[in-house]
Amino acid sequence: MLELISLRELLLFHILFELKQYDDPLDRFMVVVKWFLGLLRSETMEKKPFNPVYEETHICWVANDEKDQPENITEFIAEQVSHHPPVSAFFIRNEKENITIQGATCFGVKLSMNSATVTTSGPVSITTETEKYDISKCVPDLSICNTVMPGKKYMIWNGEVKITCPQSGYEASIITEERYGRVNGIKGTIYHKDEPNKHIYRLEGVCGQKTFYWQVGKEKEKDILIDHSALKESYIDYLPRNLRTEFDSLRLWVPVADEIIKDDMEHADLEKKKIEAAQRVRLAEKKNQLEN
């Protein structure tokens, strides 16, 4: 899960470098909206969850210069700070661009007749040279459909996320939802906090594809805000094996990953239980220290 957060946050982090191109705070705000839409790629049922454990960490970075120069590095660190409820805290920094992101994501599960929804909560903030941008949560809820009835399972981003800039007053409401034919749609509005009912821009698109925006009253002048097919994703680097700590995600879960690669799910589950049992011991020791 920590690695998945890093992928979402870092692959298109360089979109935020466009902020310095604009003097108009509304233009800068739209850059942040564009970056957030970049997180909402189409999801598939091919991931194996590794249920992060208490004190697990994940460290990685992106070299943003084409020549791999160290002066433009985006660093990422995350830690699982709670298991019940599951809370993943993360911090991102690019010193050259003077951009930081910090946040925490809490996950829950809500069941219904034929679907399961991974609920999300926990605010995220982006700090730049000129402004701060607050995002109500890292990503929308994620619904897994056809969990009981016959039919192929599929995933849909579902719900509202708000983005606000206290300095400029601009705000965005971004809503993801299922459309006919299992299409994961996006719609949204951009407005100023002093006139919340007077929309400046409207958004419409599909997760992982294109999202268009236009000025209210000028629907025929739609323009592309983001086109995933035209974007180049960054390459993410990780610590060498000999520098990974005991609780580094890429070291901690090796025994489970090895069994999954061998397609031995029975032993993968046993290895997973060993990791979770060790977590319970650590939590008990921590509780005992606090009480004494």
pLDDT of residue 53: 93
Structural domain total, the chain: 2
Intervals of the chain under pLDDT 70: 45-49, 66-70
Expressed as residue numbers, the domain containing 280 is 253-292
Tokens of 104: 């925490």
Residues 271 and 237 in one domain: no
Residues 273 and 247 in one domain: no
Tokens of 184: 């994961």
Residues 245 and 284 in one domain: no
Residues 229 and 259 in one domain: no
Do residues 257 and 267 touch, judged by C-beta distance below 8 A? Answer: no
pLDDT of residue 258: 93
- Residues facing 237 on adjacent strands: 61
Residues 179 and 221 in one domain: yes
pLDDT of residue 56: 95
CB neighbours of 243 closer than 8 A, spacing ≥ 6? Answer: none
Residues 275 and 175 in one domain: no
Query: CA distances (Å), 126 to each of 9, 55, 114, 196, in order?
Result: 11, 24, 37, 22
Residues 87 and 232 in one domain: yes
The model's pLDDT over 43-62, given as tens digits with 9 standing for 90+, comes to: 776 656 678 899 999 999 99
Residues 234 and 289 in one domain: no
pLDDT of residue 24: 97
Residues 209 and 271 in one domain: no
Residues 181 and 268 in one domain: no
Do residues 275 and 253 touch, judged by C-beta distance below 8 A? Answer: yes
pLDDT of residue 70: 58
pTM (whole model) above 0.85: yes
Residues 114 and 257 in one domain: no
What's the CATH code of the domain at 133?
2.40.160.120
Residues 235 and 269 in one domain: no
